[in-house]
């Protein structure tokens, strides 16, 4: 019942707002509404630290008048506020300038029905505070109990959310869907003999409860990752092979999706510009964006403009397949929408990705490490040192040094750098061990050479 | 004119029906299960944005966000709930949700609140940009666009935008305190692309503060745009940055991001209360070179990080964090100041009514020293000189921090020479601060362009620093240096 109320209400609000805008005489308009109930419990050192639960709701309107567009949003959904929203949108549109490409999605590309994608776990609305507390407590306890050197905790959080999204447009599109999510996170600290602390965290995040890793596994992984950093020192500056553990490698897929953004192409702010259908990576590398996978966090039946979502190969055996588009940037560059528009209540559609996966290769991860005489096993990256225009990559890092094919001592306070195009070309092994982390999946990936800066 | 606190209180009572009686009733619900303290954070925010590309207005946006965040404290634990619906029923329901952190029954007298006055003068502005006609703002963007294109023929794209907001905040607490504030915020951004012989380089620049249109009296759109254009063109001739550990000279102003990451976050009292910071239990101990004095200061006139009151209703102030290298104090919020038995420092901040407050920085800077900035460069045989940055991050437990340089140069034999490509720097907080071997007399605050993220919450901040020489930081370039270690 609660589920049904949530799934229909945003559609009604959005439809009401669109109707008011149409009555005011706009040429084209769309309205989007979102609601979500988020609840979380955080414990630290086995005491409750924070319990929160709230339901949030907001609605946004885009109007297009003679090619001039404006967007307005409000969290006040009274009729007075909605009427004011329409008026503000009209005023803003009048001072905007005509853009021949502004417009709604092509109705022929929009979804006609909303397929079941396993996005809603009926159990999640039923989860109560006691369950969240119990999960967070056992997650943290398993990390704290893993080893006596674990001496402190940054806390453990278990959270659930139930959301619903609705989009209506003046071409007649009306769609809504509801989804759920649950996640668990913990961070603990271990102490060096000199008193210095090392820390690491681990998490699990899924659409449905039954797919979450167990609290015990999440806690044990956080503890293991913390303990393996004990005794970390700074490496020497060198050029060596770098092995990306699966979680780190999953970030590479996000970088490719960011560079394959059709708006970045329009702005010529991506190193992938003019490289469609060329070799941009090692033939071992295949990266896919797919919003249609069942029960995944990056899945949805239609995009932020109502366009049917789909599977988009980004890199197929090293060859760059093409850019991701919303309908606006597709019109500007004579391309087609790839169902990649994301729509927040407060803004214009933006291009983004769904589920991202680096496909597994056939090399066992142990072998990938065993083949390295001297190199870095990368477990942590820090900072934002990526220039998408040039492809320059330079980020803080920590990990484990590989000596003679074995994981040896931990290293930290180092930096890894190279140009992304070189990095993708230098992939010389892809593991058979792909794992999911939220909406991304990747196996172990090795690059034959990067610069490691240290002492 | 911007609103006075009394205007904001009147706005809530008259426009939104939130008066003292309503607040008292909600607070009574919040303490209905015996929590020791409750607080209501009302926020009414109007924001706008205007973006300009391809030499015309691309989009105009406006949004209204309003609601109340309700926090109930019981010991070290908090219950939190918010609602966008400011009807009494909805607010009392949210209060009852937050109240569940406590497990008893109400044993306190009904809450009796009183409006308290304080000097709200850190950004009392004559002309909020939110009431400026859009056509005037479009003109500023057009001037920026023209200036960037005129600056150099290789500038082929300019994207400019202006975002502003006015926030009316009302905080009502179960100890009877009721305070209000009007908080304006403006930011102007320019991004430029330089294309030369098929090579593309870009740069961004911008500024602003808790200011209205008067910002542009001191900072013309042309000067902001030309700075973005200059940096983009400069990158056309940039060399690969070196790899290894070298002396680094940080230019005055934006380099304050080093302090923000190297010590700022580590001195936020929540981490120290939990003893998860590498600065925990080190008050009174040396944590930096004795040349280093660091202050967090919410009182700077019109600055992006300034606040009259923090988001827990405390008057925000001028707080000495490190004095001549010795750790003096942490930045406190309510829970941590209770824990440490010290006065709140006015650093309890939050992103919005949807978020619980925690200790955050405001404007964080290093005080001026006595060195001539040019002398600091002359002291370096081989190193880098850093002027502009895109961001940073810190691990507060092990102290490692990074920041990304977007305008940097080699220093060779005491002279600034070739520009270098984007590069990340990594260091460890106390280690890097102990290696500060020179501090210029030229303290400068960054223009208002920084936003700080912590635990998923963003707040506007300021940073500042004089020219500083650090004897060694690890520079994450790709150019191996002769004699650099090979493994």
- What backbone phi and psi angles, to 5 degrees, belong to A436? -95, 140
A129 touches chain B (CB under 8 A): yes
A236 touches chain B (CB under 8 A): yes
CA-nearest residue of chain B to A51?
A: B79
Domain match, A16 and A73 both: yes
Q: What are the angstrom distances between the C-alpha of B336 and each of A93, B30, B36, B283?
A: 48, 21, 15, 15
**A357-371: pLDDT as tens digits:** 999 999 999 999 999
Domain match, A187 and A68 both: yes
Cβ atoms of A326 and A351 closer than 8 Å: yes
What is the average pLDDT across A116-129?
96
- What backbone phi and psi angles, to 5 degrees, belong to A132? -60, -45
Tokens of B156: 């082929």
Closest CB to B67: pick one of A75, A234, A392: A75
The pLDDT confidence band at residue B458, using thresholds 50, 70 and 90, is: very high
Domain match, A241 and A123 both: no
Whether the pLDDT of residue B485 is over 50: the answer is no
Q: In A, which residues are within 8 Å of B62 by CB distance?
A: 70-73, 88-89, 92
The CATH label, of 3.30.950.10, 3.30.2290.10, 2.40.420.20, 3.40.640.10, for the domain at B5-235 is 3.30.2290.10
- The separation between CA B257 and the C-alpha centre of its own chain, rounded to angstroms, equals 10
A331 touches chain B (CB under 8 A): no
Q: How many domains does chain A have?
A: 2
Cross-chain residue pair A75–B66, CB shorter than 8 Å:
yes
B76 touches chain A (CB under 8 A): yes
Domain stops at, among A226, A255, A278: A226
Domain match, A262 and A406 both: yes
Q: Tell me the residue range of the domain where A115 lies.
A: 2-226
Distance in angstroms (rounded) separating the CA atoms of residues A402 and A242: 9
Domain match, A219 and A237 both: no
Window B:170-229, CB contacts with A under 8 Å: 193, 195, 200-202
The pLDDT, as a whole number, for residue B433 is 97
Domain match, A262 and A361 both: yes
Window A:263-292, CB contacts with B under 8 Å: 267-269, 273
Distance in angstroms (rounded) separating the CA atoms of residues B363 and B274: 24
Domain stops at, among A226, A258, A280: A226
Window A:179-218, CB contacts with B under 8 Å: 189, 196-199
The pLDDT, as a whole number, for residue B483 is 52
Cross-chain residue pair A383–B78, CB shorter than 8 Å:
no
The domains of chain B are located at: 5-235, 242-480
Cross-chain residue pair B63–A346, CB shorter than 8 Å:
yes
Window A:105-124, CB contacts with B under 8 Å: none
How buried is B25 (Cβ within 10 angstroms: 0-12 exposed, 13-18 middle, 19+ buried)? middle
- Three-class SS of chain B: CCCCHHHHHHHHHHHCCCCHHHHHHHHHHHCCCCCCEEEEEEEEEEEEEEEEECCEEEEEEEEEEEEEEEEEEECCEEEEEEECCCCHHHHHHHHHHHHCCCCCCCCCCCCCCEECCCCCCCCCCCCCHHHCCHHHHHHHHHHHHHHHHHHCCCEEEEEEEEEEEEEEEEEEECCCEEEEEEEEEEEEEEEEEEEECCEEEEEEEEEEECCCCCHHHHCCHHHHHHHHHHHHHHHCCCECCEEEEEEEEECCCHHHHHHHHHHHHHHEHHHHHCCCCCCCCCCCCECCCCCCCEEEECCCCCCCCCCCECCCCCECCEEEEEECCEECCCECCHHHHHHHCCCCCCCEECCCCCCCCEECCCEEEECCCCECHHHHHHCCCEEEEEEEEEEEEECCCCCEEEEEEEEEEEEECCEEEEEECCEEEEEEHHHHHHCEEEEECCCEECCCCEEEEECCEEEEEEEEECCEEEEEEEEECCEECCCCCCC
- What backbone phi and psi angles, to 5 degrees, belong to B402? -130, 155
Cross-chain residue pair A54–B81, CB shorter than 8 Å:
yes
Residues 6+ away with beta carbon under 8 Å from B130: B46, B47, B48, B164, B165, B166, B184
- The number of C-beta contacts closer than 8 angstroms across A and B is 261
The pLDDT, as a whole number, for residue B398 is 95
Domain match, A197 and A256 both: no
Window B:283-312, CB contacts with A under 8 Å: none
Rounded to the nearest angstrom, the minimum Cα separation between A5 and chain B is 18
Cross-chain residue pair B78–A49, CB shorter than 8 Å:
yes
Domain match, A222 and A250 both: no
Residue of B97, B204, B424, B482 to mutate when probing chain A, most A C-beta within 10 A: B424
Whole-prediction pTM: 0.96
**B347-396: pLDDT as tens digits:** 999 999 999 999 999 999 999 999 999 999 999 999 999 999 999 999 99
Distance in angstroms (rounded) separating the CA atoms of residues B5 and A184: 41
Pairing type for strands B77-83 and A440-442 reads: unpaired
A224 touches chain B (CB under 8 A): no
The pLDDT confidence band at residue A6, using thresholds 50, 70 and 90, is: very low
A412 touches chain B (CB under 8 A): yes
Distance in angstroms (rounded) separating the CA atoms of residues B251 and B249: 6
Cβ atoms of A290 and A153 closer than 8 Å: no
In sequence order, the β-bridge partners of residue B420 are B239, B408
Could you tell me the CATH number of the domain that includes residue A218? 3.30.2290.10
Domain stops at, among A198, A226, A254: A226
Cross-chain residue pair B135–A95, CB shorter than 8 Å:
yes
**A27-45: pLDDT as tens digits:** 899 999 999 999 999 999 9
How buried is B452 (Cβ within 10 angstroms: 0-12 exposed, 13-18 middle, 19+ buried)? buried
Rounded to the nearest angstrom, the minimum Cα separation between B294 and chain A is 23
Rounded to the nearest angstrom, the minimum Cα separation between A68 and chain B is 8
Q: Which of A100-109, A191-200, B103-112, B355-364 has the lowest mean pLDDT?
A: B103-112
Cross-chain residue pair A414–B422, CB shorter than 8 Å:
no
Domain match, A116 and A96 both: yes
Window B:429-458, CB contacts with A under 8 Å: none
Cross-chain residue pair B476–A385, CB shorter than 8 Å:
yes
- State what percent of residues in chain B have pLDDT above 90: 93
The pLDDT confidence band at residue B205, using thresholds 50, 70 and 90, is: very high
What is the average pLDDT across B194-218?
96
């Amino acid at each position: 019942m609660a589920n049904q109320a949530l799934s229909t209400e945003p559609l009604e609000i959005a439809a009401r707002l669109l109707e008011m805008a149409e009555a005011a005489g706009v040429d084209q308009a769309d309205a989007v509404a979102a609601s979500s109930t988020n609840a979380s419990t955080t414990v630290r050192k086995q005491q409750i630290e924070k319990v929160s639960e709230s339901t949030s709701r907001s609605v946004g309107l885009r109007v297009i008048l003679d090619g001039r567009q404006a967007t307005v949003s409000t969290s006040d959904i009274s009729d007075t506020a909605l009427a004011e929203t329409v008026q503000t949108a009209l005023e803003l549109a009048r001072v905007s300038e005509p853009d021949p490409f502004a417009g709604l999605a092509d109705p022929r590309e929009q979804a006609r029905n909303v397929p079941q994608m396993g996005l809603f776990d009926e159990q999640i609305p039923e989860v109560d505070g006691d369950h969240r507390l119990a999960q967070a407590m056992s997650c943290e306890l398993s990390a704290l109990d893993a080893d006596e050197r674990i001496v402190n905790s940054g806390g453990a959080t278990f959270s659930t959310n139930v959301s619903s999204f609705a989009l209506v447009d003046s071409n007649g599109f009306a769609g809504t869907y509801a989804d759920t999510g649950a996640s668990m996170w913990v961070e603990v600290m271990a102490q060096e003999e000199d008193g210095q602390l090392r820390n690491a965290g681990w998490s699990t995040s899924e659409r449905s409860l039954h797919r979450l890793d167990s609290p015990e596994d999440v806690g044990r992984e956080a503890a293991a990752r913390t303990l393996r950093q004990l005794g970390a020192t700074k490496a020497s500056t060198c050029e060596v092979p770098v092995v990306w553990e699966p979680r780190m490698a999953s970030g590479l897929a996000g970088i490719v999706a960011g560079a394959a953004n059709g708006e970045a192409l329009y702005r010529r702010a991506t190193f992938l510009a003019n490289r469609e259908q060329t070799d941009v990576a090692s033939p071992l590398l295949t990266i896919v964006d797919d919003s249609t996978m069942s029960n995944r966090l990056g899945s949805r039946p239609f995009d932020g403009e109502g366009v049917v979502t789909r599977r988009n190969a980004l890199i197929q055996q090293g060859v760059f397949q093409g850019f991701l588009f919303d309908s606006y940037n597709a019109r500007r560059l004579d391309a087609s929408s790839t169902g990649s528009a994301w729509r927040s209540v407060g803004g214009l559609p933006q291009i983004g990705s769904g589920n991202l996966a680096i496909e597994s290769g056939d090399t066992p991860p142990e072998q990938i490490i065993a083949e390295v005489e001297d190199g870095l096993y990368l477990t942590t990256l820090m900072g934002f040192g990526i220039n998408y225009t040039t492809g320059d990559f330079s980020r803080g890092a920590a990990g484990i040094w590989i000596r003679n094919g074995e994981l040896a001592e931990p290293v930290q306070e180092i930096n890894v750098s190279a140009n992304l195009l070189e990095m993708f070309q230098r992939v010389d092994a892809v593991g058979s061990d792909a794992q999911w982390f939220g909406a991304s999946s990747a196996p172990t990936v090795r690059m034959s050479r990067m610069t490691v800066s240290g002492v | 004119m911007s609103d006075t606190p009394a205007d904001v209180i009147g706005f809530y009572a008259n426009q939104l029906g939130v008066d003292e009686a309503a607040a008292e009733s909600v607070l009574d619900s919040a303490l209905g299960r015996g929590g020791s303290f409750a607080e209501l954070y009302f926020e009414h925010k109007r924001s706008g944005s205007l973006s300009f590309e391809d030499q015309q207005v691309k989009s105009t946006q406006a949004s209204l966000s309003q609601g109340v965040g309700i926090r109930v404290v019981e010991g070290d634990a908090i219950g939190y709930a918010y609602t966008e619906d400011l009807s009494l029923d909805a607010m009392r329901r949210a209060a009852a949700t937050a109240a569940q952190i406590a497990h008893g029954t109400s044993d306190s007298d009904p809450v009796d609140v009183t409006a308290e006055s304080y000097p709200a003068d850190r950004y009392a502005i004559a002309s909020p940009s939110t009431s400026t006609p859009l056509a005037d703002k479009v003109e500023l963007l057009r001037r920026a666009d023209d200036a960037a294109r005129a600056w150099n023929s290789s500038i082929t794209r300019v994207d400019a935008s202006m975002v502003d907001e006015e926030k009316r905040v009302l905080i009502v607490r179960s100890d009877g305190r009721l305070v209000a504030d009007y908080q304006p915020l403006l930011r102007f951004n320019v991004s430029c692309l330089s294309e030369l012989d098929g090579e593309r380089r870009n740069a961004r620049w911008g500024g602003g503060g808790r200011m209205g249109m008067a910002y542009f009296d001191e900072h013309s759109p042309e000067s902001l745009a030309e700075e973005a254009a200059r940096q983009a063109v400069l990158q056309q001739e940039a060399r690969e940055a070196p790899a290894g550990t070298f002396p680094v000279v940080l230019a005055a102003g934006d380099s304050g991001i080093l302090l923000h990451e190297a010590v700022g976050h580590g001195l936020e009292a929540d981490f120290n209360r939990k003893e998860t910071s590498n600065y925990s239990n080190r008050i009174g101990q040396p944590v930096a070179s004795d040349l280093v004095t660091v202050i967090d200061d919410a009182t700077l006139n019109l600055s992006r990080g300034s606040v009259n009151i923090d988001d827990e209703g405390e008057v925000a102030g001028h707080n000495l964090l490190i004095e001549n290298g010795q750790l003096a104090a942490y930045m406190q919020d309510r829970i941590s100041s209770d824990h440490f038995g010290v006065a709140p420092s006015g650093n309890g901040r939050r992103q919005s009514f949807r978020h619980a407050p925690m200790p955050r920085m405001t404007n964080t800077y290093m005080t001026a020293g006595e060195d001539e900035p040019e002398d600091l460069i002359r002291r370096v045989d081989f190193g880098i000189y850093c002027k502009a940055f895109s961001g940073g991050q810190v691990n507060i437990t092990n102290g490692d921090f990074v920041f990304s340089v977007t305008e940097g140069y080699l220093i060779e034999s005491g002279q600034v020479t070739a520009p270098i490509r984007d590069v990340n720097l990594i260091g460890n907080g106390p280690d890097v601060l102990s290696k500060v071997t020179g501090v210029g007399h030229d303290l400068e605050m960054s223009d208002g362009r920084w936003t700080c993220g912590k635990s998923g919450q963003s707040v506007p901040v300021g940073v500042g620093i004089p020219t500083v020489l650090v004897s060694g930081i690890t520079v994450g370039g790709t150019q191996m240096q002769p004699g650099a270690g090979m493994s």
